[in-house]
Amino acid sequence: AIDDDAWQAIEYPNAIFDEQAGCWVSDAEIAETRYTAFTSKKGRAVTARLIVRRVKRLNPQAAGGQDELFSSYRYHAVFTDSPFHLAQAEEQHRDHAIVEQVFADLVCGPLAHLPSGDFAANAAWLTCAAITHNLLRATGCLAGGVHARARGATLRRRLVAVPARLARHGRGHVTFRLPQHWRWQQAWMNVFDAVHDPPPAHAV
């Protein structure tokens, strides 16, 4: 129902990672049409805007001389009654999707213990939850690779709940003994090296 000339190009200020394509996307096209939903439910039909975003599907064999005959796209639709103009409504929907992922991470973690019967305790716990969430996201970015976009539960399991032991030596020296052949060793060391100063150089 959307005309070919109705699509308008948009560019993302910061590229977003497309899970389906496995690559970073910095531009797309958007358009909209009217759509009536819930027609199968008597008296519950709703007509509103159907905003559609399409991202061009790249041919992985194009570099080898296999040029595409026609362009193909991946489509993402949102059904909304937003009063804002097309580009702003689509941008707000993407922001909404990001914050919903944050909520999911928090509910799967510290917010699972809320609420308590004390308002002040709830406020303090929520503040601690926000701080730890930000620290955990920073840890994932420092670890690099898949951890930069992994869920909070994954980061806690791989980088926080470390299967290691502490060995104490004289004069307060502590050694952190990590397991051998540990799958996430390099990611954990990336974080460690980023937040710790290098050891002091010994005089020759």
Q: What is the mean pLDDT of residues 18-30?
A: 70
User: Is pLDDT of 201 > 80?
Assistant: no
User: Is pLDDT of 70 > 60?
Assistant: no
User: Is pLDDT of 55 > 90?
Assistant: no
94 forms bridges with which residues in the sheet? none
For 135-161, the pLDDT digits (tens) are 999 999 999 888 988 888 889 988 888
For 108-128, the pLDDT digits (tens) are 888 887 888 889 989 999 899
C-alpha span between 136 and 70 (Å, rounded): 43
pLDDT of residue 203: 65
Q: Are 32 and 8 in contact (CB under 8 A)?
A: no
Q: For residue 140, what are its two tokens? A: 């994932």
